[in-house]
Structure 1
Amino acid sequence: MTRPRLRAFSGLALLASLTGCAVLPAMPAPVPSSVIPSRAPAPAPTSSGNLSPDGFDSAQRMAVRIRNIGCGSVSTGSGFAIDANTLVTNRHVVADSSALQLSTYDGRDVGATAASTAGLADLAIVRTAEPLPAAPELADADPAPGDAVTVVGYPLGQRLTITTGAVLGATTDPLNVNLGEVLVTDAPVEPGSSGSAVLDTDGRVVGVVYAKDAEGHSFVVPVSTLRAMLDDESAFTDAPTCT
């Protein structure tokens, strides 16, 4: 696979300036003209589970929207619970923040108590003050080329959405050359999808979205890398904050 032109994205970086970090700007109304959503928005999630046409009934309950309040900008990303008080997302979603605002699929605000980022891969862990609604199972192995996958997250910082696709293969990570191979899928993602869980047909997490290329391919940290880093206490350090 040729090396793609790739960009990592944490979501909608607001262009409004802030006077310090005390005043929060409103969330943006228009979508930037440079962003073309790959799919129409999904129906708003409800308690009846209408976000789960593929059978992933727990997907909406474990997804978390992350708003990174920086000292001069605001961006959004996605994450997912791995236990009652821990969620996984991307390093670039939580880095350089003054505060992190978390919300669950049903609009409940959850306080963040700590954030840690990995040095090797674009991964981060956030600890929460309140319990998260649900946590998925991590798959034992990475998916194979051709396997169907579903991405669950908050593209463009808006409503909870799923997109589907398949694993196209693997490639050397162009953003973190020491990481090794990452997965490539054709499941559509947008800014704000960073940190989204990638699920297999049994609803198990097989990876974490972290980037896309100009051809619309999504790039995924595989679950084998996620598992290895979660098992290594030295893999994560305190997330950098803005000053």
Structure 2
Amino acid sequence: MSESQENSPIEDRSEVTAPHNKTSQSLRNNSLKALHQGSKYLSLLLLSTIASCSFGYLAAKEEPLQKSTLESPAVANPSIASSKSILASANTNFITQVVDKVGPAVVRINASTTVAVDSGTDETDNPYLRRFFGNRAPQQGSGATERQIRQGTGSGFIVSSNGSTGQIMTNAHVVSGATKVTVTLKDGRTIAGKVRGIDRVTDVAVVEIADKNLPTIQVGDSEKIKPGEWAIAIGNPLGLDNTVTAGIISGTGRTGSEIGAADKRVNYIQTDAAINPGNSGGPLLDASGRVIGMNTAILRGTQGLGFAIPINTAQRIANQLIANGKVDHPFLGVQMINLTPELKNQVNSDPNANLKLDTDKGTLIARVVRNSPAASAGIKTGDIITSVNGKAVQNSNQVQQAIETTKIGSSIPIRIRRNGQDVDLNVTPVAAPPIADSQESP
């Protein structure tokens, strides 16, 4: 999911409208209408070092508004007094409070990547470049292979500082393959960055900078968020630094396969906050300014469909990158398909399948990798996984998440259903083979 771009000015047409309570239904309707206009055009890709995404969240509860001096204790109707208070304090709404609090810890990340280019090839024939440049892809004349430096821009946020150095979380595709990384703070400081580690399986990376008096962001709990809560994003879309957008959490637990990124082991947060290339790696915030996600993807050809990595997942990966410089993910060596009544009937009616299924629910093993832990444990094509480590699983995503939390090298029990009978096996996961850059695109 890595993309690059030539140096060129880019425009962002995002518009943000912060919601406010109003004294009448008409004002409330106008406010909601303005809010919905804030998140528009988007495109799916785990946006690259140059084309990066960002969404933001605002949690369900707003901070209490300041008591208005217009309010009189003699007012008989409390709703009128409340409306006056809200109108009087509208210039200090919770979105601006979050921006003032968190903005200094959100950074711009510039990544330079040196690539080899065949000058005799028309780059418009390269689907990788065409995804970003479209009809504007640069034309190359004939000649020998040459090396070019491409500049990319993304976002990030400072999560920790020990006084002399700070750690920044961002997307792996923002800094993957970069030969030079610089970080620009809101106060104007530009600091050389060092990539501590990247994890392409979750698209998380950590960049370290050396400087004093670094602002940091407060980390929230992505397990507690619910659809319908407010969401705030701060980032650098299309070269416009410190852009703020607002929306809601549209959904949680979106799988990689649902958004076209089946190779990613993440249950994504969905949001309708406006995001654009350049926001990737930026924070997704709740109403109190706590980061609850890292913006990472948008759906091509749609509106209001953006996705973020839950902060609990991102922080777990980041801690391993800081400690070890890499992350090892458990690997079984199977390909899985979710069973449906249609799939069951298709398999049972195929005379060449040599398989009869007695259930239309669960996770069907479609392929077992040769010499893999699954093969060594005796798992076969056509088996149906019903539980992992003693916990029932209903679909392939649950199997994947259960395996992800297991320890490499430790035996785990897996129950399968084979030819109408339950079979208990023990599997010992190994470290997953690394994902090459060419495998990043969904």
Q: TM-score, length-normalised on structure 1?
A: 0.76
Q: Is the 8 A contact 1:60 1:105 kept in 2?
A: yes
Q: Does the alignment pair 1:203 with 2:292?
A: no
Q: Residue 188 of structure 1 corresponds to which residue in structure 2? A: 274
In 1, distance between residues paired with 2:203 and 2:262? 8
SS in 2 for 1:58: helix
Q: Residue 94 of structure 1 corresponds to which residue in structure 2? A: 175
Match of 1:161 among 243, 249, 252: 243
In 1, distance between residues paired with 2:296 and 2:9? 24
**Once the 2 structures are TM-superposed, how far is the Cα of residue 224 of structure 1 from its aligned partner?**
1.8
**Once the 2 structures are TM-superposed, how far is the Cα of residue 53 of structure 1 from its aligned partner?**
4.3
Q: Does the alignment pair 1:75 with 2:152?
A: yes
Q: Does the alignment pair 1:54 with 2:96?
A: yes
Q: Does the alignment pair 1:14 with 2:104?
A: no
Q: Is the 8 A contact 1:229 1:235 kept in 2?
A: no
**Once the 2 structures are TM-superposed, how far is the Cα of residue 167 of structure 1 from its aligned partner?**
0.7
Q: Residue 26 of structure 2 corresponds to which residue in structure 1? A: none
**Once the 2 structures are TM-superposed, how far is the Cα of residue 225 of structure 1 from its aligned partner?**
0.7
**Once the 2 structures are TM-superposed, how far is the Cα of residue 83 of structure 1 from its aligned partner?**
1.0
In 2 relative to 1, CA 28–115 (structure 1 residues): closer, same or farther, beyond 3 Å? farther
Q: Which runs of 5+ in 2 are unaligned?
A: 17-91, 115-147, 328-435, 438-442
**Once the 2 structures are TM-superposed, how far is the Cα of residue 162 of structure 1 from its aligned partner?**
0.8
In 1, distance between residues paired with 2:210 and 2:153? 20
The amino acid of 2:14's aligned partner reads S
**Once the 2 structures are TM-superposed, how far is the Cα of residue 9 of structure 1 from its aligned partner?**
7.0
Q: Is the 8 A contact 1:9 1:210 kept in 2?
A: no
In 2 relative to 1, CA 154–111 (structure 1 residues): closer, same or farther, beyond 3 Å? same
Following superposition of structure 1 onto structure 2, how do residues 162-181 of structure 1 map, counting pairs within 5 Å? 162-170=244-252, 171-173=254-256, 174-181=260-267
Higher-helix-fraction structure: 2
**Once the 2 structures are TM-superposed, how far is the Cα of residue 157 of structure 1 from its aligned partner?**
2.2
Considering only aligned residues, what root-mean-square deviation do their CA atoms show, in Å? 2.7
Match of 1:150 among 232, 238, 248: 232
In 1, distance between residues paired with 2:288 and 2:10? 36
Q: Which moved more, 1:124-133 or 1:161-170?
A: 124-133
In 2, distance between residues paired with 1:9 and 1:158? 21
Q: Residue 126 of structure 1 corresponds to which residue in structure 2? A: 207
In 2 relative to 1, CA 9–208 (structure 1 residues): closer, same or farther, beyond 3 Å? farther
**Once the 2 structures are TM-superposed, how far is the Cα of residue 116 of structure 1 from its aligned partner?**
1.1
Q: Is the 8 A contact 2:169 2:318 kept in 1?
A: no
Identity %: 25
In 2 relative to 1, CA 209–74 (structure 1 residues): closer, same or farther, beyond 3 Å? same
Q: Which moved more, 1:109-118 or 1:225-234?
A: 225-234
Q: Does the alignment pair 1:111 with 2:192?
A: yes
Following superposition of structure 1 onto structure 2, how do residues 15-34 of structure 1 map, counting pairs within 5 Å? 15=6, 27-31=7-11
SS in 1 for 2:174: helix
In 2 relative to 1, CA 61–180 (structure 1 residues): closer, same or farther, beyond 3 Å? closer
In 2 relative to 1, CA 37–176 (structure 1 residues): closer, same or farther, beyond 3 Å? farther
Q: Residue 302 of structure 2 corresponds to which residue in structure 1? A: 215
In 1, distance between residues paired with 2:324 and 2:282? 24
Larger Rg: 2
SS in 2 for 1:107: coil
Query: Per chain length, whose mean CA-contact separation is higher, i.e. which structure has more relative contact order (CA < 8 Å, sep 6+)?
Result: 1
In 1, distance between residues paired with 2:2 and 2:288? 28
Deviation string for 1:43-75 (max 9, x for gaps)? Answer: xxxxxxx9x843112221001101111113111
In 2, distance between residues paired with 1:223 and 1:140? 7
SS in 1 for 2:96: coil
In 2, distance between residues paired with 1:212 and 1:117? 21
Deviation string for 1:120-149 (max 9, x for gaps)? Answer: 201100011213631111113332111111
In 1, distance between residues paired with 2:205 and 2:262? 14
In 2, distance between residues paired with 1:236 and 1:132? 28
Q: TM-score, length-normalised on structure 2?
A: 0.43
Q: Is the 8 A contact 2:246 2:274 kept in 1?
A: yes
